Amino acid sequence: MRPYTILSCAVSLDGYLDDTSDRRLVLSNAADLDRVDAVRADSDAILVGATTIRRDDPRLAIRDPVRRALRAAHGAPEDPVRVTITASGDLDPGRRFFAPGPVPPLVYTPDPDLLAGRLDSAATVVTATTLPAILSDLRRRGVRTLLVEGGGDLLSQFLTANLADELHLAVAPLFVGDPGAPRWVRPGTLPAGRLCLAESRRIGDVVLLRYLLSQTAVDRYWLAAAIEESRRCPPSDNAFSVGAVVVDAAGAEVSRGYSREGDPLVHAEESALSKVDSIPDGSTIYSSLEPCSVRKSRNVPCTELIRASGIRRVVYAWREPALFVDGQGVEDLRASGVDVVEVPELAPDVRSVNAHLLR
């Protein structure tokens, strides 16, 4: 396993990270920097290349004291773990990356002898020779979400190796026009085909483009949409609020629905499936809650409706607790040859929607 990995950078209109002057070129504006601060606050670790440390001297800390306090309240360090990779060992322990903090920075290198006696207690040095090995080690250390902030060589390595889940590209309204300046992506075997654009947002004079690079990212995107749909459910003291979205094999939405939508007994999956005459081959249904295999309100459970529709893939966030019925929706679907994927990282959002039932 590896962490959920987000690549993030700000670039000029012609694709540069910086110019060739001695001073760092600031591409983001204040509002976009605050957005990045929020992404950092949701991350367990931030990774930058050694060149970025030498050139930009980043602190990699969360700026907003409220975000820092919220992390602490949830038992996390106020700042994410700082991580870098070096092949040469050319790192200055006086850089801000190595500033004292609750968790020492992690430095990955294929040759730890290059750093012997140089970093002392300023960092934890780990021997690793490949990106997959580094990501596996980070996951073992409890890093579930990793934010990669550059530079271009490192971003390109992640893209080439298909080891990233999202790309956040902030495009600034200026040109650099210097062929000697660093570009955000290097030539290589980059992902083929058109990427999945999840969001485009104007932030002052900067435009954020957010792309989904993996099936994991796509699943999270649509499952989050299903959870938002669940917030539309009429309130009930004896039924869960659930949302569902059906998506075809090409990634286009087919239909969506929510519990008690126009009918006090209808379930979310039932509502979504009833809105189309047929479901395209290869479709996936995303449900905030495990589809029911037993229900009190009607004879046909949602697992049977899903099988009858021809859907062969189901993604859900939260396993239904035995509060009203004791169902086995996951086992029922898998026994029928349906591919069932659980995304427990989003389960807290589903529990939040149904908090009134869980008190």
Contact 211, 190 (CB under 8 A): no
- Single out the residue of 247, 217, 251, 210 nearest to residue 229, CA to CA: 247
Give the pLDDT band of residue 190 (cuts 50, 70, 90): confident
pLDDT at 322: 77
Q: Is the pLDDT of residue 204 over 90?
A: yes
Mean pLDDT of 325-344: 93
pLDDT at 325: 75
- Single out the residue of 66, 57, 68 nearest to residue 94, CA to CA: 57
pLDDT at 243: 98
Q: Is the pLDDT of residue 150 over 90?
A: no
pLDDT at 132: 97
- Single out the residue of 188, 181, 212 nearest to residue 199, CA to CA: 212
Mean pLDDT of 47-51: 96
Q: Show me where the domains of the chain are located.
A: 4-213, 218-358
Mean pLDDT of 22-38: 94
Read off the pLDDT of residues 53-110 as tens digits, 9 standing for 90 and up.
Answer: 999 999 999 999 999 999 999 999 999 999 999 999 999 999 999 999 888 999 999 9
**CA-to-CA distance for 196 and 179, rounded, in angstroms?**
29
Give the pLDDT band of residue 257 (cuts 50, 70, 90): very high
Give the pLDDT band of residue 327 (cuts 50, 70, 90): confident
pLDDT at 186: 87
Mean pLDDT of 24-33: 95
**CA-to-CA distance for 182 and 48, rounded, in angstroms?**
15
Give the pLDDT band of residue 35 (cuts 50, 70, 90): very high
User: Which CATH class, in words, describes the domain spanning 218-358?
Assistant: alpha beta
**CA-to-CA distance for 144 and 44, rounded, in angstroms?**
6
pLDDT at 58: 93
Kindly state the DSSP code that residue 73 receives in the 8-state scheme. H
| CATH 3.30.70.330 describes domain 4-213 | no
pLDDT at 117: 80
Q: Is the pLDDT of residue 336 over 80?
A: yes
Give 16 or 189, the one with higher predicted confidence.
16
